[in-house]
Chain A
Amino acid sequence: MLAVIPMWYLVDRASGEGWGAVIDEVWRRRTFDLVTRSVGLAVTVTVICVVVGVTAAWLVARTDLPGRRFIQVALALPLAIPSYLSAFAWVSWRPSLAGFGGAVLVLVATSYPYVYLPTLAALRRLDPAHEEVARSLGRRPMQVAVQLTLRQLRPAITAGALLVVLYVLSDFGAVATMRYEVFTWVIFGAYRAGFNPSRAAILSCVLIGVAMIVVAAESRARGRAEVARIGSGTPRTARPLPLGPGRIPALSFVSAILVPAVVFPVARILYWMQTSESELSPLGEVASALGSTLALSLLAAVAAILVALPVGILAARFRSMTVRTIERSTYVAHALPGIVIAISLVFIGARVVRPIYQRTPLLVIGYVVLFLPLAVGAVRTSVEQSPIRLEEVARSLGTTSSGVVRRVTAPLAMPGIAAGATMVFLATMKELPATLVLRPTGTETLALRLWNFTTVSDYSAAAPYALALMVFAAVPTALLGGALSWRRSS
């Protein structure tokens, strides 16, 4: 329901203009060109993210890469860095980076963890016995990785890739800073220069259409392979594959990810702070913005998980048309820029639920609509990986359906639930457009303060907020990255 509200509003608003206007808008040459560019960018970024994310996860989970404990955590850190910030760090250093290449660089650097983390989680949960059997039958390590492991990882990889595609389609901050014109430019143009929300609604419907195709393609690519470990399996971790002389290229690969994705943006922010001409913001203001950021993010994470649990469990266990429609609709909203979702909620908020308009509850609902797929995907993949047999056994022993969910399904899926909650938490910390429109008056978040200073080009004043955002987002990110390595032994 929640996720459908914005879409209902958009279609209503768009059709209110008359279908003639809709067709005119959609069949413009420019619309077509920009959709093509958006899709091209999304495909490029996603392919690179899959290669980078899966390789990195495999290196960390299955090889004797030196320092892999630390690397495992470090590789998750880009989730703590907003793409608009990373983009600005690059362009302000080398303006010539602007364009397709720069956009790809920044979007890959900030969104590969969406593939890396679920893949790593899935790798940790795979029964290594399969791989050992394959190897004992004479397959070489690389053959095993590609032919067997990769196949078993397919649901986790496609789920991550889907998030990346949708994120890239909806992104405006990074492509705007990188001056790569894509479809979201027109949507923002309709608001910012055209002052025409109806037109923005029509254009958003185009994005919804593209997203529906992508989501359908993903559920096809996800396949129906059984990925749950049957029987008790073994609680031990797989024996790491010795890299030998392969260590050097492996370590260079990891640095080639970490330097642009983490080291560089952090270094730039420290540089801005140090070159400050204007006074640094008082610590108290930073602290209060941090406080409300953390509180809102926590609320959003909890709310998103409460909504995602039933959807994720249903999607993992039942493949009916209704369930699939529900699950898909939560994803489609993720392809819409935050401002579009925000304006849709303004419509509902100002007219239908006025008492919570520009109050915390509606803002949190906004976050849930925006970030639900992050939670749904994580819950679904981890439920899929826990054997349905256990639920059947519990039920045969007389446990009620809700008892099964509470006592069997949810605990087994706990790593996924925690991962989903953390991803929503992080996305909320960085969120700007919906926060701007829906927040209670007077509430300041780190992202809002950051925006306030960057709109007047005061980067040194913005730097402390950027730093606080990244440091405090890094803590849950590190926990998320780290939690995947220490599996509870039975």
Chain B
Amino acid sequence: MRLKNLSVIVAALVLGACSDGGDTEPAVAGPGTTGASAAPTAAATGTVTVYSGRSESLVKPLLDAFTAETGITVEFRAGDSGELAAQILTEGDASPADLFFSQDAGALGAVERAGLMSVLPASTVDAVPSAYRSKAGMWVGTSGRARVVLYNPTQAPTPPTGIDGLLDPQWKGKIGFAPTNASWQSFVTGLRVVRGEVAAKAWLTSFAAQDPVAFEKNGAVRDAVNSGEVALGLINHYYLFEKIAADGASAVVAKNQFIGGGDPGGLVNVAGVGILSSSDNKPAAQTLVDYLLSATGQDYFANKTYEYPLAGGGSPADGLPTLEELQPPKIDLSDLASIAITQELLADVGLLTA
């Protein structure tokens, strides 16, 4: 392994040396990376090992572009964000990973709390609005995803515009949700933060009385809404676009109802990255983080995965309301770490899996 790494590094050095002649630009000039304290990203070479909770289909094209531009090889290991967090926590200091690219802020928070992340430079951290990054500067959001009510227009011509609308008797037995899913549990945690424990429990109790239909994951909820098995689905906004990309627009009847006005149902969570303290190539990892926050990276997330760009003031894909228009609830994403309490609450009201 050492030998292999070494040969990769040597190869990269040689390649780097060759390309230096013609290319005097720094490898990456992302917005917000102009601060004087920025890491010497132009010099980074070698290999960066990424543990990615985001699937290969979603992010590989962007990482390939990164390699083409910087000469840094990406060793890409995909998995479920939570399982990868467990893997990193178990590996501890011995982790071969340089970077953790998570689908969810909670998984990043778990690794941060275990003391396994290193602090990002201020220029990187400041590129992202404070609502979408770690307080301690250990990780940054790379894209935002909004909670929505997905609806089937035939079955629900007038979908609810807030979470209290979901409690209307007409939706009894017609709401799909994914109780074990991290994004649902983040929403419930957000609900607790916004409304307080008592009100949150009251809402959940009423919601449980609506006999919502449990699915294993968001994709299954979406398919059930689209097929009309349920009328409404509580998921993230981009699942709809995934389906359109896979099956064609003609096969998709479901629509997103965005939830605005600070309603807890409109929580905006992030996918994000952090560098592990055990990384043996932090400069290369830093280069990749900055690339993800650069105009190229942010544009990719906006237009290829239909998420919200967070750095550099880019706008979301056509047809999506901007974050300013949405006015998501003002929640410190670090507060979403209290998942254990959320899970107890969910078990209490009979909505699920402790």
Contact residues of A with B, CB < 8 Å?
A: 28, 30-31, 91-92, 95-96, 176-177, 179, 181, 185-186, 188-189, 191-197, 200, 277-278, 339, 343, 346-347, 350-351, 354-355, 357-359, 433, 436-437, 441-442, 452-453, 455-461
Which of chain B's residues have a CB closer than 8 A to the CB of A339?
A: 83
Which of chain B's residues have a CB closer than 8 A to the CB of A458?
A: 57, 245-246
Prevailing SS type, chain B contact patch:
helix
Contact, CB under 8 Å: A95 / B182:
no
Contact, CB under 8 Å: A195 / B106:
yes
Which of chain A's residues have a CB closer than 8 A to the CB of B182?
A: 192-193
**Closest approach, in angstroms, between the C-beta of A116 and any C-beta of chain B?**
29
Which residue from chain A places its CB closest to the CB of B58 in the assembled complex? Answer: A456
B202 at the interface (CB under 8 A from A): no
Contact, CB under 8 Å: B83 / A192:
yes
B243 at the interface (CB under 8 A from A): yes
B49 at the interface (CB under 8 A from A): yes
A196-B337 Cα distance, complex, nearest whole Å: 11
Contact, CB under 8 Å: B229 / A350:
no
**Beyond A30-B354, A92-B223, A196-B86, 4 additional pairs, beta carbon < 8 A:** A196-B340, A197-B86, A200-B86, A453-B57
Which residue from chain B places its CB closest to the CB of A458 in the assembled complex? Answer: B246
Given contacts A195-B85, A457-B219, contact A95 B229 (CB under 8 A): yes
Contact, CB under 8 Å: A189 / B87:
no
Which of chain B's residues have a CB closer than 8 A to the CB of A176?
A: 216-217
**Closest approach, in angstroms, between the C-beta of A353 and any C-beta of chain B?**
11
Contact, CB under 8 Å: A441 / B248:
no
User: Which of B76, B224, B242, B343 counts the most A-chain CB atoms under 10 A from its CB?
Assistant: B343
Contact, CB under 8 Å: B353 / A351:
no
Name the 7 nearest CB pairs between A and B, nearest first.
A195-B110, A192-B82, A350-B91, A176-B216, A350-B94, A197-B86, A30-B354
B90 at the interface (CB under 8 A from A): yes
Which of chain B's residues have a CB closer than 8 A to the CB of A355?
A: 1
A-B contact pairs, 6 of them (CB 8 A): A30-B353, A181-B214, A195-B85, A195-B86, A437-B83, A458-B57
Contact, CB under 8 Å: A359 / B83:
no
Contact, CB under 8 Å: B215 / A191:
no
User: Which of A30, A343, A457 counts the most B-chain CB atoms under 10 A from its CB?
Assistant: A457
Which residue from chain B places its CB closest to the CB of A354 in the assembled complex? Answer: B94
Query: What 1/0 mask marks residues of chain B from 167 to 182 whose CB sits below 8 Å from any chain A CB?
Result: 0000000000000111
**Closest approach, in angstroms, between the C-beta of A148 and any C-beta of chain B?**
46
Query: What 1/0 mask marks residues of chain B from 95 to 136 whose CB sits below 8 Å from any chain A CB?
Result: 110000000001101100000000000000000000000000
Query: What 1/0 mask marks residues of chain B from 302 to 336 whose CB sits below 8 Å from any chain A CB?
Result: 00000000000000000000000000000000000
Interface size for B (C-beta < 8 A) is: 59
Contact, CB under 8 Å: A194 / B95:
no
Which of A191, A196, A277 sits near B80, CB closer than 8 Å? A191
**Closest approach, in angstroms, between the C-beta of A92 and any C-beta of chain B?**
7
B7 at the interface (CB under 8 A from A): no
Query: What 1/0 mask marks residues of chain B from 246 to 262 whose CB sits below 8 Å from any chain A CB?
Result: 11100100000000000
Those of B42-75 within 8 Å (CB) of chain A: 49, 55-58, 75
Given contacts A193-B82, A194-B339, A357-B96, contact A455 B224 (CB under 8 A): no
B287 at the interface (CB under 8 A from A): no
Contact, CB under 8 Å: A350 / B95:
yes
Contact, CB under 8 Å: A186 / B354:
yes
A194-B75 Cα distance, complex, nearest whole Å: 27
Contact, CB under 8 Å: A343 / B87:
yes
Given contacts A92-B223, A457-B246, contact A189 B216 (CB under 8 A): no
Which of chain B's residues have a CB closer than 8 A to the CB of A457?
A: 219, 222-223, 239, 242-243, 246
**Closest approach, in angstroms, between the C-beta of B252 and any C-beta of chain A?**
11
Contact, CB under 8 Å: B180 / A436:
no
Contact, CB under 8 Å: A193 / B343:
yes
Which of chain B's residues have a CB closer than 8 A to the CB of A359?
A: 1
A412-B127 Cα distance, complex, nearest whole Å: 70
User: Which of A179, A354, A453 counts the most B-chain CB atoms under 10 A from its CB?
Assistant: A179
B89 at the interface (CB under 8 A from A): yes
B13 at the interface (CB under 8 A from A): no
A441-B4 Cα distance, complex, nearest whole Å: 12
Which residue from chain B places its CB closest to the CB of A192 in the assembled complex? Answer: B82
A196-B82 Cα distance, complex, nearest whole Å: 8
A5-B91 Cα distance, complex, nearest whole Å: 16
A456-B222 Cα distance, complex, nearest whole Å: 12
Which of chain B's residues have a CB closer than 8 A to the CB of A461?
A: 57, 246
Which of chain B's residues have a CB closer than 8 A to the CB of A441?
A: 49, 75-77
Which residue from chain B places its CB closest to the CB of A452 in the assembled complex? Answer: B56
A188-B107 Cα distance, complex, nearest whole Å: 14
Which of chain A's residues have a CB closer than 8 A to the CB of B347?
A: 28, 30
Which of A195, A437, A442, A453 sits near B339, CB closer than 8 Å? A195
Given contacts A193-B185, A195-B85, A436-B78, contact A456 B180 (CB under 8 A): no
A92-B229 Cα distance, complex, nearest whole Å: 11
Which of chain A's residues have a CB closer than 8 A to the CB of B76?
A: 441
A405-B353 Cα distance, complex, nearest whole Å: 50
Which residue from chain A places its CB closest to the CB of B278 in the assembled complex? Answer: A350
Which of chain A's residues have a CB closer than 8 A to the CB of B354?
A: 28, 30-31, 186, 189
Contact, CB under 8 Å: B83 / A177:
no
B92 at the interface (CB under 8 A from A): yes
Which of chain A's residues have a CB closer than 8 A to the CB of B246?
A: 277-278, 456-461
**Closest approach, in angstroms, between the C-beta of B334 and any C-beta of chain A?**
13
**Closest approach, in angstroms, between the C-beta of A419 and any C-beta of chain B?**
33
**Closest approach, in angstroms, between the C-beta of B311 and any C-beta of chain A?**
24
Contact, CB under 8 Å: B215 / A179:
yes
A459-B219 Cα distance, complex, nearest whole Å: 12
Which of chain A's residues have a CB closer than 8 A to the CB of B27?
A: none
A19-B216 Cα distance, complex, nearest whole Å: 31
User: Which of A177, A194, A350 counts the most B-chain CB atoms under 10 A from its CB?
Assistant: A194
B227 at the interface (CB under 8 A from A): yes
**Closest approach, in angstroms, between the C-beta of B254 and any C-beta of chain A?**
13
Contact, CB under 8 Å: B1 / A189:
no
Which of chain A's residues have a CB closer than 8 A to the CB of B181?
A: 192-193
Contact, CB under 8 Å: B91 / A346:
yes
A461-B55 Cα distance, complex, nearest whole Å: 14
Contact, CB under 8 Å: A456 / B55:
yes
Those of B1-60 within 8 Å (CB) of chain A: 1, 49, 55-58
Which of chain B's residues have a CB closer than 8 A to the CB of A437?
A: 79, 83, 87
B352 at the interface (CB under 8 A from A): yes
Contact, CB under 8 Å: A193 / B55:
no
A278-B246 Cα distance, complex, nearest whole Å: 6
A31-B57 Cα distance, complex, nearest whole Å: 36
Which of B57, B224, B239, B353 sits near A185, CB closer than 8 Å? B353
